[in-house]
Structure 1
């Protein structure tokens, strides 16, 4: 109450001012360090709701809470996690049935094993004007409610639960804080098709590096056995993937490998028809090492 009195303002505005003071160097206590880390919420991960009787509020999406825990403590099940839940089903009024869930959340903080608890609930059987209806999601909703209530105890989404999201100025401040910087437009790479990310045929033809098309053809002629050809196909398949060869260059490589394979198996032909002029690559383990795209 001393903070409110000193600022002489409404609670929501006072909390906003206190937050701004923290940013300007107001000392946070050691006891609230974790709370302060987890307590600010991205408005993009909240949603407004209205309950019976006209009550309005702001709900935090559960996945946001889980992400905040993961950011601070590590993957769920490793740096933090949820203990085995306990459910209790009790009768309500007018033949309705309620389910309550008690769940614990554990986490490792500063070399210590810590645990907090939360309780959540929902209706398994609801009474409507049309009669009684069951809800097969009730246990899941009660469990989620229990877990997120436990996370409140260490400050996750504290600004929402403290009513600070009732202040539009505070919400805008949080929106600015969590706003992503606009992505830089990727620079166009010379010799790369911007739609496919593949090297252009022109760039490959002009390539003077050690792994260009001329080098492929030279190594192909040096392959004098089928095992040597298989090794060559595997090696150049990796090169094609690394250098982003376009699909038609990979298809051409398959064709050349098939031609060479037929020569190694059948020998040079006696007529003018060169084997492999119209090769088939279906089921060919040697050529299939080159995967299109």
Structure 2
């Protein structure tokens, strides 16, 4: 795969953690992305909306869903249907003096039943449009780390936050030094905790957790230090087991 093919993707795949939040949708925990933040990122790359990139509405409709009932038995009555709003857009962008275009859908609940009764979301069309724009941009690699599920890994998120803290710091050198000391303190803490392990199982668990975190940070030196501690301590439990 050529670098040219990944030219856009590699510039936009990481998400600024300041513009994300945890949300629950249909019982599932997800990472919610700010639509405005994604528009800002696209503007940084392509230029102002309407000049370097933009979109046009291809289709818009309201779709009827299943019937909604209240009451039980003979008193059961239909009070309407769920209605969803759908919009289809063609998102266009300029790259190397060429025009690209992506079609995507955005969907939002418009009329539905809540625990308080029927409700209508007057913001549904706007939400559907934002949804479609975000999905179209994701096809170019925008916030790919979220869509790839990397935000489910807390170690990845912490590493991303550390990198962004350096980029956004007024005194970058001071922030780098702070993180270096934090790293040393963490390694020392892991080693001391491993030395206090009461079983081989506990020792291995401490080692594996630290390695996952350090791998997310690409800290090979620290990984080797933790691995050495595991090797040094393993004979202790092997001997105890043999005895």
TM range (shorter): 0.5 to 0.7
Structure 2 equivalent of residue 41 of structure 1: 15
Structure 1 partner of 2:62:
89
* Runs of 5+ consecutive residues of structure 2 not aligned to the other structure: 69-80, 173-243
Shift of 1:31: 1.2
SS of the equivalent of 1:41 reads coil
TM alignment of 1:197-212, pairs within 5 A: none
| 1:125 matched to 2:111 | yes
Distance 2:96 2:148 in 1: 26
1:11-30 equivalent positions in 2, closer than 5 A: 29-30=3-4
Quick one: higher RCO (CA 8 Å, sep 6+), 1 or 2?
A: 2
2:122 aligned to 133, 136, 143, which one? 136
Partner residue in 2 for 1:58: 31
Show structure 1 runs of 5+ residues with no match.
1-26, 185-293
Q: SS state of the match for residue 57, structure 2?
A: coil
Contact 1:101 1:119 (8 Å CA) reproduced? yes
Count residues in correspondence: 157
What residue in structure 1 maps to residue 169 of structure 2? Answer: 181
CA RMSD of aligned residues (A): 1.8
Structure 1 position 109, deviation (Å): 0.2
Is 1:74 matched with 2:47?
Answer: yes
SS of alignment partner, residue 102 of structure 1 = strand
**Which protein is richer in helix relative to its size?**
2
Q: CA deviation at 1:29?
A: 2.9
User: TM-score, normalising length from structure 1?
Assistant: 0.51
Answer whether contact 2:57 2:87 (CA < 8 A) is retained. Answer: no
- Which residue in the other structure is 1:157 paired with? 143
- Structure with a larger share of its residues in strand: 2
43 and 31 in structure 1: CA distance in 2 versus 1, 3 angstrom threshold: same
Q: Distance in 2 between matches of 1:139 and 1:85?
A: 14
**Cα distance change, pair 28–104 in 1 and its aligned pair in 2 (3 A):** same
1:79-130 CA deviation, whole Å, 9 max, x = no partner?
1111135211111112111111111211100110111121111111111233
1:217-273 residue CA offsets vs partner (Å, 9 max, x unmatched): xxxxxxxxxxxxxxxxxxxxxxxxxxxxxxxxxxxxxxxxxxxxxxxxxxxxxxxxx
TM-score relative to the length of structure 2: 0.61
Partner of 1:98: 84
State the Cα distance separating 1:157 from its structure 2 match. 0.5
1:150-184 deviation line (CA, Å, top 9, x unaligned): 11110011000000111112112211222211269
Give the Cα separation in 2 of the matches to 1:41 and 1:182.
Answer: 21
State the distance in 1 between where 2:61 and 2:102 align: 19
Work out the CA distance in 1 between the residues paired with 2:123 and 2:114. Answer: 17
